[in-house]
């Protein structure tokens, strides 16, 4: 009897790891099942902006129940974009009464380079849950999959993220290719969302840059202010904080967020609830090449690139220009130049954090960061834009875009071997 027990124990000790290895080999794959991602186009960005305006929490009255209806293609777009920010690929297909989610997660392992996951999200009352989850060809118990999902949510958004969803979400239904969310807005939801998006450490960091803006604009002469006159002291503060133990990339990102909010006349209270009690910054108009719109284009693209690291900044800039050509100020290649220069600036801020600080803190001129706009067509109505340049993606349009990129490449900030002026 004792010998039999001994053999059973030995068999378990030997077989359990082998079974585990076999399961892992089935869970991981050499290739991803989700390879592409939805292309972000101006029309898709416009639809996202319209949806956000429609369900802007500021328009909610009291604790009313509201309904958001989202087309399946837009759900898939948002899932694809969110997945790219997390370094993976994902798709969502809205069906009748359920959604099918597929994701490919890069994972270095001896068994394969990708963890390919599929899951079903059925309709629900309250927060939905996952069912029929597989990792590769291995079924994952629902309890395990939902525990892992909740753990990830808590890690990314802390405990209150899960609780906030539970407090607000009343039902999730899927019909006719649409996702329908019924939710009840709560009086404290805005502050809780801001706390989730900007943890206390980030809020304090943003306050430091906001207070530097307050101090700088107070000392400079009245009138319009070149953007670089404000950027340089903010980057010097980022350098000081980095030398005191801060992460250069995180500091650079916070500096860009602070100056972008200031340039666009937005209060930091949109991000941080306590910002309503911060000191007020004297209003100044920031310009690049003498134009306020160029400074805004530059900064928005820079901060989008620095915070997301995706092509979204180019798309947002292009969307704005196409809207202008349909009845606003008209299509502007100068604005696109500012968009693309801002993208380069934001990419450098997070791509070479300390080196970026060393160069920018020396003091920058406008020509160091923004190319000349001489000869670039501006204020083109849609008909003239199409007649002269053939539309976005045409040979003539691409020729002008290549010229803009060549001008940006000659700016000293983006050429490490060239000193700043």
Range of the domain at 179: 27-190
My answer on whether 300 and 176 are in the same domain is: no
My answer on whether 177 and 249 are in the same domain is: no
pLDDT tens, residue by residue, 353-388: 888 888 887 778 899 999 999 999 998 888 888 889
Out of 153, 172, 190, a domain closes at: 190
- Size of the chain, expressed as the number of residues it contains: 421
- Judge whether 150 lies within some domain: yes
Secondary-structure percent of the chain, ordered helix, strand, coil, rounded to 5? 55, 15, 25
- Judge whether 67 lies within some domain: yes
pLDDT > 90? residue 68: no
My answer on whether 232 and 356 are in the same domain is: yes
What's the whole-number average pLDDT of the chain?
A: 77
My answer on whether 349 and 202 are in the same domain is: yes
| Cα 313 to Cα 306: distance, rounded to the nearest angstrom | 10
Confidence at residue 127, expressed as pLDDT on a 0 to 100 scale? 80
Q: Within 13 A of 400's CA, how many CA atoms are on the CB side? A: 22
- Judge whether 1 lies within some domain: no
My answer on whether 238 and 361 are in the same domain is: yes
- Judge whether 220 lies within some domain: yes
Tokens read off for 335: 């604005």
My answer on whether 223 and 172 are in the same domain is: no
**331 DSSP assignment:** B
**281 DSSP assignment:** P
- Judge whether 33 lies within some domain: yes
- In sequence order, the β-bridge partners of residue 119 are 101
- Judge whether 10 lies within some domain: no
| Cα 390 to Cα 127: distance, rounded to the nearest angstrom | 48
The pTM for the full model equals 0.64
My answer on whether 252 and 299 are in the same domain is: yes
Number of domains observed in the structure of the chain = 2
Out of 137, 167, 190, a domain closes at: 190
- For residue 57, give the nearest of 66, 49, 48 by alpha carbon: 66
Confidence at residue 274, expressed as pLDDT on a 0 to 100 scale? 74
My answer on whether 170 and 205 are in the same domain is: no
My answer on whether 152 and 168 are in the same domain is: yes
Please, what is the Cα angle at 347 between 87 and 225, to 5 degrees?
140
- Judge whether 246 lies within some domain: yes
Confidence at residue 319, expressed as pLDDT on a 0 to 100 scale? 55
My answer on whether 211 and 183 are in the same domain is: no
My answer on whether 57 and 180 are in the same domain is: yes
What's the average model confidence in pLDDT over 305-315?
58
What's the average model confidence in pLDDT over 52-65?
61
Residues sharing a CB contact under 8 Å with residue 421, sequence separation 6 or more, in sequence order: 365, 367, 368, 412
SS3 380: strand
Instruction: Please state whether beta strands 98-109 and 89-94 pair in parallel, antiparallel, or not at all (unpaired).
Output: antiparallel
pLDDT tens, residue by residue, 191-233: 555 555 556 677 888 889 989 999 998 888 778 889 999 998 9
My answer on whether 84 and 173 are in the same domain is: yes
């Amino acid at each position: 009897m004792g010998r039999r027990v001994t053999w059973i124990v030995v068999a378990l000790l030997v077989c359990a790891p082998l079974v585990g290895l076999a399961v892992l080999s089935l869970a991981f794959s050499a290739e991803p099942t989700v390879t592409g991602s939805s292309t972000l186009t101006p029309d898709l960005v416009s639809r996202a902006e319209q949806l956000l305006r429609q369900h802007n929490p500021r328009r909610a009255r009291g604790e009313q129940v509201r309904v958001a209806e989202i087309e399946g293609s837009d759900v898939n777009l948002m899932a694809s974009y969110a997945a790219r920010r997390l370094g993976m690929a994902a798709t969502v297909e809205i069906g009748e009464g359920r959604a099918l989610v597929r994701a490919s997660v890069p994972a270095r392992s001896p068994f394969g380079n990708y963890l390919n996951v599929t899951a079903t999200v059925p309709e629900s009352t309250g927060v939905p849950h996952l069912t029929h989850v597989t990792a590769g060809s291995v079924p994952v118990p629902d309890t395990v999959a939902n525990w892992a999902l909740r753990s990830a949510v808590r890690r990314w958004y802390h405990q209150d993220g899960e609780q906030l969803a539970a407090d607000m979400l009343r039902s999730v239904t899927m019909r006719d290719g649409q996702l329908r969310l019924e939710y009840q807005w709560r009086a404290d939801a805005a502050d809780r969302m801001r706390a989730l998006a900007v943890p206390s450490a980030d809020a304090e960091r943003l306050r430091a840059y906001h207070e530097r803006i307050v101090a700088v604009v107070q000392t400079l002469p009245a009138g319009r202010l070149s953007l670089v006159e404000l950027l340089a002291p903010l980057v010097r503060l980022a350098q000081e904080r980095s030398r005191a133990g801060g992460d250069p990339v995180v500091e650079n990102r916070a500096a860009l967020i602070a100056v972008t909010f200031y340039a666009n006349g937005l209060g930091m209270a949109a991000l941080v609830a306590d910002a309503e009690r911060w000191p007020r910054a004297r209003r100044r108009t920031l310009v690049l090449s003498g134009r306020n719109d160029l400074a805004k284009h530059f900064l928005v693209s820079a901060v989008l690139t620095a915070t997301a690291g995706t092509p979204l900044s180019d798309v947002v800039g292009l969307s704005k220009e196409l809207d202008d050509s349909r009845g606003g100020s008209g299509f502007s290649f100068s604005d696109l130049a500012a968009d693309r220069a801002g993208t380069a600036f934001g990419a450098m801020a997070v791509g070479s954090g300390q080196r970026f600080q060393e160069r920018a803190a020396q003091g920058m001129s406008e020509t160091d960061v923004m190319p000349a706009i001489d000869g670039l067509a501006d204020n083109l109505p849609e008909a003239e834009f199409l007649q002269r340049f053939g539309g976005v993606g045409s040979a003539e349009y691409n020729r002008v875009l290549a010229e803009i990129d060549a001008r940006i490449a000659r700016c000293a900030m983006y050429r490490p071997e060239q000193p700043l002026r």
